[in-house]
Chain A
Amino acid sequence: MIEMHDVSKVYANGVQALHNINVVIEKNQFVYIVGPSGAGKSTFIKLMYREEKPTTGQIYINGQNITQLKNRHTPYLRRAVGVVFQDYKLLPKLTAFENVAFALEVTERPPREIKRRVFETLELVNLRHKARSYPHELSGGEQQRVAIARALVNNPSLLIADEPTGNLDPDTSWEIMQLFEKINLNGTTIIMATHDKEIVNRMKKRVIAIENGRIVRDELRGEYGYED
C-alpha cells in the first residue's frame, strides 16, 4: 500500500526533518504516528499527499512512485488519498453539503451522483441533518466529521489524518475515533499522527514512533509510550 525507501527531508531553511525513513504499511492497516512535537510527524504525513516532497528517497502509494509524479498530476493523487487536518480546513463560505460536494466536483462527476454520494457520506458521519449548516454554525466535532466526510467521499483506499482530535475534547475525540474505526473496518487504510495517549493505548493498533526525524519504534499492537 505505502512504501518509503530511504526517505530524507531537508527544508529550505536547513532543518533536517526526516533521516532515512524506511517503512512499509499494508493495506487495511490502522497506523498511529507518535512522537514529540517537532520530531517530524507532520512532515512524514505531508509527504504522502505531496504537500511536501522528499529531498531524497522514493515513496510508493498503491504501487505508484509519487516522488516522480509531475506537479500537474498531484491533484489526482490527492483525490485517491483522503486527508483530515487538525484545523479541519473547511471552506468557510460553503455549507457542510457544499464542502463535501467540492471534493467530488473536482472530479467532474454528474450532479445527481454528487448529490447522492454526499448525502450517503454525511449519513455515514451522522451529519445528514446539518447538511445546510455553515462551518461556523457547527461544533468542533461536527466540523471534523464534515472534514472526514469530505476525505471519504471519493472512496479513497487511504485516509491520512494529522492530529484530527488535537482541537477536540476527550468525549468528542472518542466519537471521532470510533468513526475512524468504522471506516477502517470498511477496508480503508488509516494513518494518523496523534498526541492523544488515551486513544493510542486504548485502540491497540500499529504504532510508529518518530524522534528527531528517525523511526525509533514500530510495534504492531503498540502503546503511546510517552508521558505526554
Chain B
Amino acid sequence: MKIRTLGRHLREGVKNVGRNGWMTVASIVSLSVTLLILGSILIIAFNLNHITTNVESGMELRVFLRLDATEEHVQDVEKAIETMPQVKETTFIPGDEALDRLIASLGSDGKHFEDFKDEQVLPHVFVVRTTVPQDIYQVAEEVRKLPAVEKVNDGGETTRTLFQVTGMIRNAGLVFTVGLAFTALLLIINTIRMTISMRKQEIEIMKLVGATNAFVRWPFFVEGVLMGLIGAIIPILILSFGYNRLLEYVMERFKLPFFDLLPISPLIYQVACILLGMGALIGFWGSMISVRRFLKV
C-alpha cells in the first residue's frame, strides 16, 4: 500500500464518523456508558485492593527471645531471620528498651518497675514484617525452631480471619469486574454489529467496483478505533471529575486511618489507559468482525 493511500484511508475513516451521523452517536454513547460503568468498577476495585493491602501490611510477627539469651544468640537469631527470603524488615527491641517503654506507658505507676532496670526481666524482641503479609506463618514456623527463641506471636486467629476476609473481598471484586467487563463487551458488539449491518450494501458495492478487501477494511478500522477512543475519553473526563469530588468529600467528612482512598494520580491515569485500550480494542475488533462477514462478494 502506498503512503498516499494510507492517508486516504485515515481521511475516509475520520469522515465516516461524521457521515454516519446518528449511528455514530448511538455507538459512542453506548460505548461511553459501558466504559463509564467499567471505569467506576475499576476505581472501586483498585481502592478495595489498596485498603485491604493497607490492612494486611499492618501484620507483623513478634519473636520473643529467651531471658537468658546472650549477645551471641541475639546475633544468631537476627542473622537467621534476615536471611529468609520472605522477610522485608526486622526491628530489634532490646529487653531494657521494652522495659523503658513499659515504664513510660504506665506513667506514675511506672516507678515501681524502676528497680528492675539492671536486670533482664523482659525478653529481647524482634518485630518482623514480610513482603507478602500471608508469609508470616511460614516465617513463624521457621523462627520457632531456633534454640534461643522462647515464643513467636503471629497474631493467631485474628489475623487468619482478617486474611480470609481480605481475600474474599478481593475475589468478589475480581469476579464482579470480569462479569461486568464481559456484559459491557456483549452490549458493544451488538451495537457495532447493528451499525455495520446497515453498511452491508456499501461494502458489497465497494467490492463490485474493484476494491480489495484491505482497501474496504482500512477506513472501517480507522473509524472503529476512532469511535472507541472518543467513547473512552468521555467516561475518563467524567470519572476524573467525579473521583476528584469524592476525594474532597471523603477528606472533609471522614478521617479514618485505614479508610484511605488512593490519590487521584496515578490511579486516574491507570484507569484512563485501561479504558482507552479497551475502547480502541472494542472499536477495532467490532469493526473487523463485522466487515469480514460482508467481504465475500
Contact = CB atoms under 8 A, between A and B. Distances in A.
Interface of A: 49, 51, 72, 75-79, 83, 89-93, 102-103, 105-108, 110-111, 150, 154
A51 B297 contact: yes
B190 to A, nearest CB: 23
B209 A78 contact: yes
18 contacts: A72-B213, A75-B211, A75-B212, A78-B208, A79-B210, A89-B205, A93-B16, A93-B202, A102-B211, A103-B209, A103-B210, A106-B206, A106-B209, A106-B211, A106-B212, A106-B215, A108-B1, A111-B4
Interface of B: 1-2, 4-5, 8, 16, 19-20, 202, 204-213, 215, 297
A108 B218 CA distance: 14
Contact of B206 (A51, A77, A91): A91
Which 3 pairs across A and B sit closest by C-beta, in order of nearness?
A: A78-B210, A79-B210, A106-B211
Given A51-B297, A90-B205, A108 B210 contact: no
Contacts of A111: 4
B202 A91 contact: yes
**Chief secondary structure at chain B's binding surface:** helix
Contacts of A51: 208, 297
Nearest to A151: B209
A90 B209 CA distance: 10
A105 B210 contact: no
Given A51-B208, A79-B210, A93 B19 contact: yes
A106 B219 CA distance: 12
Contacts of B213: 72
Contact of A108 (B2, B20, B208): B2
Given A106-B212, A108-B4, A92 B202 contact: yes
Nearest to B212: A75
A150 B297 contact: no
A110 B211 contact: no
A102 B212 contact: no
A77 B212 CA distance: 11
B209 A150 contact: yes
Contact of A76 (B1, B20, B210): B210
Given A89-B205, A93-B20, A102-B206, A108 B5 contact: yes
Nearest to B209: A103
Contacts of A110: 4
B208 A83 contact: yes
Contacts of A77: 210
A108 B212 CA distance: 11
Nearest to B296: A71
Contacts of A93: 16, 19-20, 202
Nearest to B2: A108
Given A72-B213, A76-B210, A103-B210, 4 more contacts: A75-B212, A106-B211, A106-B215, A110-B4
Contacts of B205: 89-91
Contact of A75 (B4, B202, B207): B207
Nearest to B12: A105
Contacts of A103: 209-210
B284 to A, nearest CB: 22
A89 B204 CA distance: 9
Nearest to B16: A93
Given A106-B215, A110-B4, A75 B210 contact: yes
A155 B1 CA distance: 22
A90 B204 CA distance: 11
B210 A106 contact: yes
A76 B209 CA distance: 10
Nearest to B204: A89
Nearest to A76: B210
A91 B20 CA distance: 12
A202 to B, nearest CB: 30
A51 B297 CA distance: 6
A91 B219 CA distance: 15
A101 to B, nearest CB: 10
Contacts of A83: 208-209
Contacts of B209: 78, 83, 102-103, 106, 150
B24 to A, nearest CB: 12
A191 to B, nearest CB: 16
Nearest to B207: A75
A161 to B, nearest CB: 13
Nearest to B20: A93
Nearest to A153: B209
Contacts of A72: 212-213
